[in-house]
Structure 1
Amino acid sequence: MANLVVSRFVDHQPWHRQSVIFRRVGLHIDRDVMSRWARKLAWLLAPLGERLFAYIREAAKIHGDDTPVTLLGNGEGSRIGHFWVYLRDDRSSGDMSPPAVAFRFSADRGGAHPAEHLADYQGYLQADGFAGYNALYRNPKTKAPRDIVKVGCWSHSRRKFTDILEKSPSPIAAEAVVRIAELFAIERDIKGAPPDERRRIRQSKAVPKLEALRVWLETQNRGLSSDSNLARACRYPLNRWQAMIRYCDDGRLEISNNLVENALRGVALGRRNWMFVGSMKGGEAAALFYSLAGTCRLNGVEPEAWFTDVIERIGNYLINRIDDFLPWRWQASKLSNDLEKAA
């Protein structure tokens, strides 16, 4: 079971390909059987997935994003489902709390889904400009601020300009990329520094560059056709300016959402091979396995060894001690036991 799960969700081998590989050595396991096994295993591991997501929501800052995937229907054709991802990783600001990632699956991209996922969260959410997140920041009826504070992403803003440059030369887009690159250069020098130090350097070096960039973007935008791609690229950070500069006020925050985009790479690679999700239950199971495997990767834990041990023991384990199986705790316990045996 551990081998099947790791092959699918770490090494991106779809069930039918694994079935063919096994048949070559005389082991006949139908792909539908593998899929059913995986859903049953997901049921067994679900409490651990919930505990993992609860740990992420305890952080003062989390990163959020989503990615589409084809979802097969029951005789109704396919549609576009979505994996939502939430990441806790504060190592760039000197906080060595274990990083963790959690995925959720939905049949559409409605804003109700992140609202449900983060219903009890209080803190910073670093995400792109997707309108579906808006209800997280303000009450739709009263417009009063909520306990989740929006933080923008300069990588998304930069991408608007690089997309233009890929199609045709543009001095304005080129200068925008250079100006944004100067902001990222500041971040490279303070990676891993404590929050107070990061804030101090950003206030002295990044804030003047940001103010100059704001004035420059406003000037360029006034001379452009309002429906041009270049004007839209200029307006993207201007329309979100307070969220875009918020990272300068708190050293725990990041200049971009690149950390969570890295966490989505496994899904993007796997999607090219398995191509679709067969059902809602299949998507929910996949989200759980991506959460567990992704957290193993973030903590340097060998995923097949972890899944093997957890699958063997979790069924008879005390529910109030389930945190023992969180990858970083499991790794620490394993190292401790290995040292005792060596002694």
Structure 2
Amino acid sequence: FWALARDDRPWGGEDPPGVAFTYAPGRSGQHADNILKGFNGTLQVDGYAGYNRLLKRPTQDVVLAYCWAHARRKLHDVTQSGAAPIAQEGLAQIQALYRIEKDLRGLTADQRRAARQERSKPIIDVFELWLAQNRARVSAKSPTGEALKYIAKYWEGLCRFIGDGRIEVDNNPVERTIRPIALNRKNALFAGHDAGAQNWAVIASLIETCKLNGIEPHGYLSAVLKAIAGGHKQTDIKELLPWNYAKP
């Protein structure tokens, strides 16, 4: 499954939150390209290499913003196997970025961008110098070296949030939304064929979007099916979308 999501409006946007799951029979970058056909703009992703295919479009209309939670995880894993002062230093700098983000939650995109330029950019500048110095100090094949190499590889995309208040510091909203799908993976083997999995993706999209909008999913699905059976017009389908759904 692939997921596109907006969390519970961590920045002051006007659109309702939602998630869209879609099924693909594999992890090829071609699937990402197909799913995002017609999309242009900034896409927030993890380190999955398949998204690089989007950067090869002739129109060059997609840029990738990467996830600081994944970068932090690389350093955290190093600290779990013993003393790792360099990794600890990196974690402290990343934590400083997250403390700032906590203060900015709910502000408009313009306000977030201005605050990041003032408060987060100096941390990023120091981190970039620290990253270069410590990559020169440690073996590239050591656990610490591998973690630093990962951060350096995605550095440009990791810094993209500084210049755009709409971008999150990480893609944890998607990670949280897709967790129930991952936990239910074995139970979902009943899908049997591609059509079943595609239908399941539609239902999962509605359920998770209900959750983001504070609507009880079972009651919503029951009411929508009753409305459709009762002759609700297809031209008025927008009335049945989760964010327009009238709670009983």
TM-score normalised by L of structure 1? 0.68
Conservation of the 8 A alpha-carbon contact between 1:90 and 1:96: no
The change in CA–CA distance for 1:218 and 1:268 in structure 2 (over 3 A counts) is same
Question: Matches of 2:234 and 2:166 in 1, distance apart?
Answer: 33
Structure-2 separation of matches of 1:252 and 1:112? 27
Is the CA contact (8 Å cut-off) linking 1:89 and 1:98 kept in structure 2? no
Match of 2:48 among 130, 133, 148: 130
Structure 1 unaligned regions, length at least 5 = 1-82, 336-343
Confirm or deny that 1:312 pairs with 2:236: no
Larger radius of gyration: 1
Deviation at 1:180, TM superposition (A): 0.5
String of CA shifts for 1:30-78, please: whole Å, max 9, x gaps. Answer: xxxxxxxxxxxxxxxxxxxxxxxxxxxxxxxxxxxxxxxxxxxxxxxxx
Counterpart amino acid of residue 88 in structure 1: R
Question: Per-residue deviation at 1:111?
Answer: 0.6
| 2:217 paired residue among 292, 295, 303 | 303
Aligned 1:270-309 pairs, distance under 5 A? 270-271=184-185, 274=187, 276-279=189-192, 280-309=194-223
Give 1:152 deviation, angstroms. Answer: 1.2
Q: Structure 2: where are the runs of 5+ without partners?
A: none
Instruction: Name the residue aligned to 1:329.
Output: 244
Q: Does the CA contact (< 8 Å) of 2:6 and 2:173 recur in 1?
A: no
> After superposition, where does 1:151-170 map in structure 2 within 5 Å?
151-170=65-84
| TM alignment of 1:188-267, pairs within 5 A | 188-267=102-181
What is the distance in 1 between the residues matched to 2:188 and 2:141? 35
Counterpart of 2:51 in structure 1: which amino acid?
Y
Q: Distance in 2 between matches of 1:325 and 1:227?
A: 54
1:90/1:299 CA distance change after superposition, 3 Å:
closer
How many percent identity over aligned positions?
36
- For residue 319 of structure 1, report the CA deviation from its aligned partner: 2.3
Corresponding residue SS for 2:15:
coil
2:236 maps to a residue whose letter is R
Q: How large is the Cα RMSD of the aligned pairs?
A: 1.7
Partner of 1:113: 31
Higher percent of residues as strand: 1
- Measure the CA separation in 1 of the matches of 2:43 and 2:75: 24
Indicate conservation of the 8 Å contact 2:5/2:19, yes or no: yes
Deviation beyond 3 Å, 4+ runs, structure 1: 275-278
Per-residue deviation, residues 275-294 of structure 1 (Å, max 9, x unmatched): 63542233222211110100
Secondary structure, counterpart of 1:264 in structure 2 = helix
Aligned position for 1:50: none
Q: Is the 8 A contact 1:165 1:173 kept in 2?
A: yes
- Return the alpha-carbon distance in structure 1 between the equivalents of residues 225 and 24 of structure 2: 26
Of residues 156, 178, 181, the one that matches 2:92 is 178
Q: Tell me the equivalent position of 2:3.
A: 85
Q: TM-score, normalised by structure 2?
A: 0.93
Cα shift at 1:90: 6.8
Residue matched to 1:59: none
Deviation by residue 1:123-159 (Cα, 9 ceiling, x = unmatched): 21100121100121232xxxx5622221111001001
The answer (yes or no) to whether the contact 2:78–2:143 under 8 Å persists in 1 is yes
2:10 and 2:234 map into 1 onto residues whose CA distance is 33
Letter of the aligned partner of 2:136 in structure 1? R
Given that 1:101 and 1:294 are in contact with CA atoms closer than 8 Å, whether structure 2 keeps it comes out as: yes
Q: Quick one: structure 1 residues 165 and 197, their matched pair in 2 at CA, closer, same or farther if it must change by over 3 Å?
A: same
> Contact conserved, 1:124 with 1:151, CA < 8 A, in 2?
yes
Q: For each residue in 1:298-343, what CA deviation from the matched residue of structure 2 results, as whole angstroms up to 9, or x when unmatched?
A: 0011111111111122253322221111111013xx46xxxxxxxx
Name the SS for the 1:276 alignment partner: helix
Report the counterpart of residue 21 of structure 2 in structure 1.
103
